[in-house]
Amino acid sequence: MIVQRVVLNSRPGKNGHPVAENFRVEEVNLPDCVNEGQVQVRTLYLSVDPYMRCRMNEDTGSDYITPWQLSQVVDGGGVGIIEESKHTNFTKGDFVTSFYWPWQTKVILDGNILEKVDPQLVDGHLSYFLGAIGMPGLTSLIGVQEKGHITAGSNQTMVVSGAAGACGSLAGQIGHLLGCSRVVGICGTPEKCLFLTSELGFDAAINYKEENVAEQLHKLCPAGVDVYFDNVGGDISDTVISQMNQNSHIILCGQISQYNKDVPYPPPLPPAIEAIQKERNITRERFLVLNYKDKFEFGILQLSRWFKEGKLKIKETMVNGLENMGAAFQSMMTGGNIGKQIVCISGDTSL
């Protein structure tokens, strides 16, 4: 059987900006036989995420993610349906997910890398397992719980950068749900600002491309900032940190503004900002959700419950077709998405 897949066509270079042409689609033959312990799956949805930028380099700069290889199939978060199984844990028709799903229309996989998912948790929206009821949701929830130190009723103010993205759009809502009295988002378009305040319940939003972030923060966070969910790093974060309170907390989720630069992770702060951080005893510890696997099961159930109760609003930017994976990745890296960027490979869940 002939199937389509996406391979890494070229590397953008450590300081380069990724483009759709870094990827290419090709056809390959899928073997006819499924061996013991394997399953054949049809891909339904694939995820593109900022961390993948590091995988485009020969050296990811990280000990927990491996680089993609030139002319080899690319992989990441995926959801699909099992068409044939020779693995004891799975049967035909099961919906499954993996963090290492090849960008391929159909694929034969070792069943051990897959996890069964229950469509009822997402009211049938299977792509949510790649977003709010998946790794970005867990990153936001566990990050806020473990590093935010939110105490309900203590009048805390939370600021979220990259607030209209996959994690930011959830983190702000979770901040409110866990007891923050004020949540302010920073993003890059008027449309995103309106989305945050009118749909997600953020108290205010700042458009960093058109407004003076320092002035707006001063106005919108009169009592200072207690919790900062940082998705971007760079100048925006330096500005937020300078307005943070004594003994406040930074949740270091991502540094997308720095991903096209050859710098360590997390990037060091400028000396003046580092001095503020130390002087005010602001915590800024690297946060890696994979270190909290014991909290995943409960976390997914909590996120699902909030979603079903209407307390957690979920937004996706959906693109169709495997041939658009590269374009979707490029768009996500330049802020083209609101909520989670997803690519639909096949909307057909029938067998």
Model confidence over 236-263: pLDDT tens digits?
Answer: 999 999 999 999 999 998 786 676 777 6
All residue ranges of the chain with pLDDT < 50 are: none
User: What CATH code would you report for 135-290?
Assistant: 3.40.50.720
Q: How many CB atoms lie within 10 A of CB 115?
A: 13
Distance CA 240, CA 269 (A): 12
pLDDT of 207-218, one tens digit each?
999 999 999 999
Show the tokens assigned to 103: 């960008």
Domain coordinates of the chain in residue numbers? 2-131+315-344, 135-290
Element (H, E) at 294: none
Show the tokens assigned to 204: 């205010």
Determine the pLDDT at residue 256.
Answer: 65
Distance CA 79, CA 98 (A): 7
Q: How many CB atoms lie within 10 A of CB 304?
A: 20
Q: Is 115 left (phi over 0), alpha (psi -120 to 50) or beta?
A: beta
CATH value of 2-131+315-344 in 3.90.180.10, 3.40.109.10, 3.20.20.370, 3.40.50.150: 3.90.180.10
DSSP 141: H
Q: What's the residue count for the chain?
A: 351
Q: State the amino acid at position 17 in one-letter form.
A: H
pTM of the model: 0.95
What is the β-pairing status of strands 204-207 and 283-286? unpaired
Determine the pLDDT at residue 257.
Answer: 62
**Strand segments (E) across 55-123:** 75-85, 95-102, 106-110, 115-116
Show the tokens assigned to 285: 């510890």
Distance CA 335, CA 236 (A): 15
Determine the pLDDT at residue 64.
Answer: 83
Show the tokens assigned to 271: 């000396």
Element (H, E) at 339: none
Distance CA 344, CA 342 (A): 6
